[in-house]
């Protein structure tokens, strides 16, 4: 990954390049950035630049053997650690068990999330970074480097470390010579305090709409659609990319069907919809509920401010307009929002999905039709 391929973050990239060239980059750094801000691509760019054999003033060369291997994520001195799921064996899983699919995932979706990664694996299980993984990291970094001056560890989502993460504290405090530890973090609140206090924080900024638009255009997205997706994504390039790839977003179609069944009082179709929703992943269920909340908020804005400043896809705008035409009451929207937020809360605590979505659907229908 080149620094120039990392969207935005100009000042941070310049600072890091300067520290690397001066030999002053801290041995343990924490790249903190919200979803879609590009902290993993930045980590990959840092690793490539550190081991590049023909560094340029502003980027790696891209042609030396180290850069060629980094492009494939196969450099022997760059190690990866990331959330894994159980394989049903007695031995706990480690990153080496998933390194091939992980490389494929990152090369396809460098701005992807842990949820995207687990979906890529086809697993609904909760990911984690095991104690065995931590011990293997220590063993790897105690060895000599194979061909480059530095050994580098990139740990993606260290928030998935439980107390097992304390196994790494001595390594973080007193690493072997020429060792760089890069923690790629999305939520600092979920990161062990013992790790936070031992790493140098480098915070990424929220991407601007223009930066996301230009990133989408570079991938061949039409300028108008790119800007529209950028506005909806609110700084999240991963979300903007997903929006740009869908002619009609799956969540929009789910919402249309759900509301149609509620308004038409079509019980059989509603039950079938609930069964299909209950079979989806918990992350998908939460995303659907959050999407409905967002549309309700847009309905309020549309009613009071008009559509001029609305960052909505055409299908979403039509749906919001339909809700208003059906006379949805402003007083009902906060009640529905509370109901949906409660549902998200219960999904996170492993509520029965079928019962939950029956309850949410009937309560929502009562609020809509009571008008």
Which residues of the chain fall short of a pLDDT of 50? 247
Per-residue pLDDT, 311: 60
Angle in degrees, CA 340, 346, 352, rounded to 5: 110
Question: Cα–Cα distance between 142 and 157 in angstroms, integer?
Answer: 22
Kindly state the tokens that stand for 322.
């339909």
Superfamily for domain range 3-205: P-loop containing nucleotide triphosphate hydrolases (3.40.50.300)
Question: Cα–Cα distance between 133 and 84 in angstroms, integer?
Answer: 10
Per-residue pLDDT, 318: 82
Parse the chain into domains and list their residue ranges.
3-205, 211-244, 248-369
Per-residue pLDDT, 302: 76
Per-residue pLDDT, 40: 96
Per-residue pLDDT, 249: 66
Exposure string of 95-132, with b = 16+ CB inside 10 Å and e = fewer, is bebbeeebeebbeebbbbbbbbbbbbbeeeeebbbbbe
Question: Cα–Cα distance between 74 and 139 in angstroms, integer?
Answer: 19
Per-residue pLDDT, 291: 84
Give just the sign of the alpha carbon dihedral 237, 240, 245, 250.
positive
Q: Against a cut of 0.95, is the pTM above it?
A: no
């Amino acid at each position: 990954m080149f620094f120039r391929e990392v969207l935005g973050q100009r000042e941070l990239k310049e600072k890091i390049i300067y520290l690397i060239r001066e030999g002053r980059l801290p041995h343990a750094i924490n790249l903190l950035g919200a979803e879609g801000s590009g902290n993993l691509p930045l980590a990959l760019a840092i690793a490539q630049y550190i081991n590049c054999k023909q560094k340029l003033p502003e980027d790696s060369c891209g042609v030396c053997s180290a850069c060629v291997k980094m492009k494939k994520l196969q450099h022997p001195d760059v190690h990866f650690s990331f959330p894994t799921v159980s394989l049903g064996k007695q031995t706990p899983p480690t990153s080496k068990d998933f390194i091939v699919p992980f490389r494929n995932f990152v090369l396809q979706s460098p701005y992807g999330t842990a949820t995207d990664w687990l979906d890529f694996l086809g697993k609904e299980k909760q990911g984690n970074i095991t104690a065995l993984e931590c011990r293997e990291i220590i063993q790897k970094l105690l060895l000599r480097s194979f061909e480059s001056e530095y050994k580098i560890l990139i740990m993606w989502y260290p928030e998935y470390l439980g107390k097992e993460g304390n196994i790494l504290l001595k390594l973080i405090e007193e690493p072997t010579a020429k060792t760089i530890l890069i923690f790629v973090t999305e939520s600092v609140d979920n990161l062990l305090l013992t790790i936070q206090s031992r790493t140098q924080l480098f915070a990424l900024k929220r991407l601007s709409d223009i930066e996301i638009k230009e990133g989408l255009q570079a991938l061949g997205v039409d300028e108008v659609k790119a800007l529209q997706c950028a506005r909806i994504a609110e700084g999240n390039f991963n979300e903007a990319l997903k929006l740009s790839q869908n002619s009609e977003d799956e969540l929009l179609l789910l919402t249309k069907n759900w509301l149609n069944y509620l308004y038409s009082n079509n019980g059989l179709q509603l039950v079938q919809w609930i069964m299909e929703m209950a079979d989806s992943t918990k992350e998908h269920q939460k995303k659907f509920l959050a999407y409905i909340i967002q549309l309700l908020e847009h309905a309020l804005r549309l009613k009071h401010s008009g559509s001029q400043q609305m960052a909505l896809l055409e299908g979403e705008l039509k749906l919001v307009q339909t809700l208003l035409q059906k006379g949805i009451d402003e007083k009902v929207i906060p009640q529905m929002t509370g109901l949906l937020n409660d549902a998200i809360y219960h999904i996170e605590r492993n509520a029965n999905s079928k019962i939950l979505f029956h309850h949410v659907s009937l309560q929502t229908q009562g609020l809509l039709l009571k008008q």
